[in-house]
Amino acid sequence: MLRHAWSLAAALAWLVPLAVPAAEPEGGATMFLTEADVMAVCGQLEAKHGAAERERIAIGVRQAARLWTQADGSPGEFARFALEQYRVGPELEVLLGRFEAGLESLDGHLNSLLLELRTPSDEDLGPEQPVDLLFAGLNLGDHLVDDMFRSKLAFVALLNFRALSLQELLAGGAGLSRARWAEARLARAYSHRVPAEVLQKITLAVSAADNYIASYNIHLGRVVDGQGRPQFREGLKLISHWGLRDELKALYSDPKNLPLQELIQTVMLRIVRQEIPAGAVDNPKAAWDPVANTLDGKPAAREPDRRYEHLRQVFLALRGLDPFYPDAPTHMDRGFLLGREIPEAEVERLLTAVLAAPASRDVASLVQKRLGRPLQPFDIWYDGFKARGSMDERELDRVVRERYPNLAAFQADLPGILGKLGFAADTARFLAERIEVDPARGSGHAWGPQMRGEKAHLRTRLPAEGMNYKGFNIAMHELGHNVEQVFSLYKLDHNLLKGVPNTAFTEGFAFVFQKRDLEVLGLARPDPQREALEALDDFWMTREIAGVGLMDMRVWRWMYAHPEASAAELRQAVEQIAVEVWNQHYAPVFGVKDSPLLAIYSHLIANALYLPDYPLGHIIAFQVEDYLRKHPLGQEMERLCAQGRVTPDLWMRQAVGAPISAQPLLDAAARAVKTLK
């Protein structure tokens, strides 16, 4: 999973308008500067710089005037500011360079500081202290937006560079120079003005939810049957939902493990419904029978609706942004139109296309045939199409542990791993020198650098006995993020374009790396049907997470329709929505109705509408992987990442020569079904 590093560009990614209004201030308030004030300043600037600058002057003055308040100065002070700060010709290029250098320094140092403050919460360095959460919730960057406006730097950007609308970028982005793209990203970053206290509330709510999820461990080694007998290996401790899901996946290696898979599903459903005893959460001592739902053989009080209270608090905090976005007044608007730069309806269309694909029933029949039993809801995670699907995970654990007894060994082998992925030796060293491996307290994540000279951080779980296969598989996913993060910072021509269009793209690279984990271990087996199996695996995984993405979208719509709902009401709604999505898109294929299992995903609680990025990431990854079948990853990835943060459709067209589409994945699945029948 990508952990969002601090960057001003990222923090303000949604602070952009669909169009720049002439006289509509933030939050519905009355604009301080009048139309007469604006026209007077435009006239003075035109007299100074000539009629050739008329259109640019009008745009810049209106962009700055819209957000200027009485606290920023009188109309006369605004006029003096504009006359002093407006730049033309070569001076405009110099100004852009100053912003690129200054913002890279701000982003980089704030990111580094936030990384340090969060280290006790994010890294497994010993018992967590109550004060760690307070440090994790301290983000000095929350005040930078205010500071940029109070210092007038934001107004300088708005005065001199045009904040092109999304429609303009989609229609004409291919014809823009790289410098013009950088200018547009700079101006768009300051097109809304959000008070620091609003951003601070978001930081605190998200940090608290993230900490709750990061410490939500289930000690499966203490899960027992009705006779009190342990059902899993001693000491097995797994985070929800990632660890539980991955354990369930690993159990496909032997059909005799079906009762254990069913038991994990019961654990998940207890969590979703908040029926889990409070004493079963992160408790290595109590014996929990999930079927009878008893602790040490006795009834126990359930966990209060903490899971959904955290989701509710994240919603309320993000809803605090709404008044400052009259053109994108909901978190969904900001997430899709301004963050992803893909309309919500288009994302829903892509996900629904996967769920409704004709190949769905055929693939489900193949899964059922391979399992030799009727499908169950947890078979959304069927892992048998992968090369490792028939491998004993204990053997995989042994191989990984011998190679990587600690994270230092994994760190030292990064150049070798990258070499096996096709990167030239000098490129592999360049990347490895800029990636630091840390022990994760949670499931694992990637944290990117924001200025040159800083490193990307790869975090994965490390049991006391050494790295296991789950940790290695997660590490390969995060390595994909890290390589993208390094390339899309260090190899760009304009720092204002650092990154990729949205998180779905970095997830795409992460999936490409994760799929090649057995190749890196030297365990990939020759298989004439491998390409078909890989296509079915991609399709089945994308189909699984596509429904989860739709569920996340519907949950956010419900919260906006019921902003006063309690945590208990939200819990009931989430379960109902999960069941509705299941019955619509999964029950016809699985033959099982009314499962709320999709709601187990922890991202739903702490990551605020992040889940649609995963199916988008799979779709994008398949397109990129399809391209990389004929072009080497090690050579092409740098070119792909060096495009930076242009619009998603333009990025994909320039990368592989086609727009974002699920059709290549669906066609490959249909061909694979025919091959394997």
Q: Judge contact between 289 and 225, C-beta under 8 A.
A: yes
Q: Which residues contact 193 (CB under 8 A, 6 or more apart)?
A: 15, 26, 67, 145, 149, 154, 324
Pairwise CA distance, residues 428 & 198, whole Å: 42
* CB contact at 8 A, 551 and 598: yes
Characterise 448 by phi-psi region: left (phi > 0), alpha (psi -120 to 50), beta (else).
beta
**HEC readout, 402-437:** HHCCCHHHHHHCHHHHHHHCCCCHHHHHHHHCCEEE
Residues with Cβ within 8 Å of residue 629, at least 6 apart in sequence: none
CB atoms near residue 94 (< 10 Å) = 10
Amino acid at 403: R
Q: Tokens at residue 212, please?
A: 């709750």
First to last CA, the chain: 35
User: Position of tokens 């010993």?
Assistant: 126
- CB-based contact 456:446 (threshold 8 Å): yes
Q: How many CA atoms lie within 13 Å of 669's alpha carbon, on the beta-carbon side?
A: 29
How far is C-alpha 234 from the chain's CA centre?
33
Q: What is the pLDDT of residue 313?
A: 98
pLDDT at residue 257 in the model: 96
Buried b vs exposed e over 223-240: b needs ≥16 C-beta within 10 Å?
bbeeeeeebbeeebebbb
Chunked mean pLDDT (size 10), the chain, 677 residues: 47 35 44 95 98 97 96 97 97 97 94 89 84 82 87 98 92 95 95 90 93 94 96 95 94 94 98 97 96 96 97 98 92 93 94 97 96 98 77 88 94 97 97 95 86 94 86 94 97 95 87 91 79 92 97 98 98 98 98 98 95 92 85 92 95 94 95 89
pLDDT at 363: 97
- Ramachandran bin of 657, using left for φ above 0, alpha for ψ from -120 to 50, beta for the remaining angles: left
pLDDT of 171: 92
The sign of the dihedral angle between the CA atoms of 191, 195, 196, 198 is: negative
Distant-in-sequence, close-in-space partners of 391: CB < 8 Å, separation ≥ 6: 253, 523
Q: What is the pLDDT of residue 281?
A: 96
Cα–Cα distance measured from residue 120 to residue 127, given in angstroms and rounded to the nearest whole number: 9
Check residue 6 and give its pLDDT. 38
| Residue 52: per-residue pLDDT | 96
Amino acid identity of residue 350, one-letter, is L
- Domain spans of the chain? 2-191, 213-307, 312-361+527-676, 389-503
